Structures are given as C-alpha cells and as structure tokens.
C-alpha cells in the first residue's frame, strides 16, 4: 500500500484524547432509550411491543431518579479491584442492595396500566412472588440463564437490576475504573455488552464503544475487531434492507468467522440510536444472522429468548 492511500494518522492531543470508559448518564440514559423505542415503534410491525418497552424504559428512568443512596465499594475495595483488574461492581458477586426489589415493584406498578393481557398476568404473578423467589430470578439474569421456567418474567427483573447497576455505576464514576484484560466484558460490572456503538466523542469521530447490557457503562474497543474472541481477521458486517433495497445504515451485525459469534453495531453518527432499542427493533437481522450459523455474544435483557 502506498503512503498516499493510507488513512492519515492524526496524533491525538492528550487534552482531546477520548475516554476509554464512559459512565452512564443517570439523568438521561433511560429517558433517551424510551424516546428511541417510541420513535422506532412508529410504523413497525412490532410497534406495540416496542412501545411497551418504551414504557418500561420510562419507568426505569423514574425509578433511577428516585433511587436512594447505595452502599458502594469503599476506597480500599476500589483499590483492590484496580490492582487486580477486576470490575468493582461484579454482576455475579456484588452484594446487591435489597432496594432493587422495591425498584422492581415500582416498575411493575408503573407499566401495568399499559401492559397487554399476557404481560399483565406475568406482572401479577411476579408481584406475588416472595423475596427468595425474586432473588432467584435475579441470579438467573445475572448469570445470563435466560431460558426455562418463568423466562417471561426475567425482562422485568432485569429492568430493575439495570436501574440498580446503572445508578451504582453512575455514582461510582469512571475515574477509578480501569480497563480489564478481557476486552469483551464491562470494566465496571463484568457483564457482557448488548451491542456496540460508533460515536463521536469530543473531536474524535468513528470511535467504537461496547455498551454494557446491565450497567450501561461504555468502553472503547478498536473497530474491526471481534469483541468476543479479540481477532481481527474474518470480521464482516451484515445489514437489513427495506423493500426498495435501501440498507439500514443505523445498525448492522458484526459477525466473526473465527468464533462464529455476532453482536450488533449501531451508528450514532447516522441516527439517534440506542444500543438496546435499536437492537430490539431489528430482530429480523437477528434471525438472518442466527440462520447463517452465528450466535449472539451478549444478551439483550429486555428480550425473552424465543418469546
Ligand atoms: Zn456493566
Ligand atoms: Zn470472534
């Protein structure tokens, strides 16, 4: 390759260097998601479902705004996590404050009036569960065991856990969180990404961030690299087309020949994308890639697998 055909490498001044990790914005993450669900629902064959997911996101926003003080890791625990390159709020072992069950009740109460009959029955059943049963559902979500009995209840449980972890991640901030050795898991909670987003941060465009399915933290990963197995060869992209053959350029699936996994990639420079909402509005792309033999490398917790 001649020098003239190479992409020019522009040195980044330290003052404008993009952040490696971006904490969730508690004031807007769920309200923006709700707005995106509502926008995507218009004219969509799954519009009613997407609008309902928008209502869940609105309820998450309200619950997060009134989330009380949380018992967060102290400076010694943060130091230990940093030194051992461990996430400070690990999904599977952080002693989650029981307030999350009140968040779950608040979300269920808020969405009941707009729920369709099957969802209303699910919510009534969930509200009748005792604490032990609800905690058992939380364990399934946090261990990504999303199939099996009562799988239809898991998205509501996940919605409440997302509020808790997002609130904790936002309050912890990113200053004391370090990148992990494993690039494909969240440096804040160790959970998997729901999708990646290409965005402009400061003056730098075309940056890729993986977006945590649980705590909404984002972390940088170079483009054209599989987030699941770290290889760069054999990464390709697949997009949906509308009836006129126009490609959906707001979201594509990034597939990897090496580990046969995929994750969607949303382009914030093309539309007001939200990784969770845009992912669920493109289930057709999911089916296409699944049928081609790839399996998803990170979950969308608002989706009931096979539901
Ligand atoms: Zn996370
Ligand atoms: Zn791979």
Q: Are residues 33 and 162 in the same domain?
A: yes
Q: Are residues 215 and 154 in the same domain?
A: no
pLDDT at 176 (0 to 100): 82
Mean pLDDT of the chain: 92
Task: Note whether residue 187 is domain-resident.
Answer: no
pLDDT at 11 (0 to 100): 42
Task: Note whether residue 14 is domain-resident.
Answer: no
Torsion of CA 180, 182, 185, 190, to 10 degrees: -60
Q: Are residues 221 and 281 in the same domain?
A: yes
Query: Which ligand has the nearest atom to the CA of 294?
Result: 2
Q: How confident is the model at residue 146 (pLDDT cuts 50, 70, 90)?
A: very high
Cα–Cα distance measured from residue 242 to residue 76, given in angstroms and rounded to the nearest whole number = 54
- Residues flanking ion ligand 1, Cβ below 5 Å: 186, 188-189, 191, 212, 214-215, 217
Q: Are residues 210 and 131 in the same domain?
A: no
- Host domain of residue 28: 24-172
Cα–Cα distance measured from residue 20 to residue 202, given in angstroms and rounded to the nearest whole number = 13
Ligand 1 midpoint to CA 195 (Å): 12
- Work out the average pLDDT over 194-220: 95
More confident residue, 10 or 218: 218
Task: Note whether residue 182 is domain-resident.
Answer: no
pLDDT in tens, 181-200: 888 999 999 999 999 999 99
Cα–Cα distance measured from residue 158 to residue 165, given in angstroms and rounded to the nearest whole number = 10
Task: Note whether residue 304 is domain-resident.
Answer: no
Q: How far is CA 162 from CA 136, 155, 245, 305, in A?
A: 16, 10, 37, 18
Task: Note whether residue 180 is domain-resident.
Answer: no
Ligand 2 midpoint to CA 262 (Å): 8
User: Count of domains in the chain?
Assistant: 2
Task: Note whether residue 51 is domain-resident.
Answer: yes
123: domain CATH number is 3.90.1670.10
Ligand 2 midpoint to CA 20 (Å): 21
């Amino acid at each position: 390759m001649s020098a003239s055909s190479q992409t020019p490498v522009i040195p980044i001044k330290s003052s404008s260097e993009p952040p490696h990790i971006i904490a969730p914005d508690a004031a807007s993450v769920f309200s923006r998601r709700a707005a995106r669900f509502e926008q995507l629902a218009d004219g969509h064959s799954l519009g009613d479902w997407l609008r309902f997911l928008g209502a869940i996101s609105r309820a998450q926003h309200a619950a997060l705004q009134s989330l009380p003080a949380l018992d967060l890791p102290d400076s010694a625990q943060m130091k230990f996590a940093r030194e051992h390159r461990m996430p400070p709020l690990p999904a599977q072992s952080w002693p989650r404050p029981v307030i999350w069950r009140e968040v779950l009740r608040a979300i269920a109460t808020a969405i009941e009036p707009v729920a369709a009959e099957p969802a209303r029955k699910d919510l009534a059943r969930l509200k009748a569960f005792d604490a032990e049963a609800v905690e058992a559902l939380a364990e399934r979500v946090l261990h990504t065991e999303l199939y099996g009995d009562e799988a239809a209840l898991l998205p509501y449980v996940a919605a409440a856990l997302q509020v808790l972890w997002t609130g904790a991640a936002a309050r912890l901030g990113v200053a004391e969180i370090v990148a992990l050795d494993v690039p494909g898991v969240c440096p804040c909670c160790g959970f998997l990404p729901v999708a990646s987003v290409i965005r402009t941060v400061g003056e730098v465009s075309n940056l890729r961030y993986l977006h945590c399915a649980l705590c909404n933290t984002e972390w940088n990963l170079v483009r054209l690299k599989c987030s699941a197995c770290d290889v760069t060869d054999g990464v390709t992209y697949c997009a949906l087309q509308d009836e006129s053959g126009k490609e959906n350029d707001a979201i594509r699936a990034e597939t990897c020949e090496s580990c046969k996994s995929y994750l969607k990639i949303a382009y914030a420079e093309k539309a007001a994308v939200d990784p969770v909402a845009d992912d669920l509005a493109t289930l057709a792309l999911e089916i296409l890639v699944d049928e081609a033999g790839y399996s998803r490398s990170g979950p969308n917790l608002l989706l009931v697998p096979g539901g």
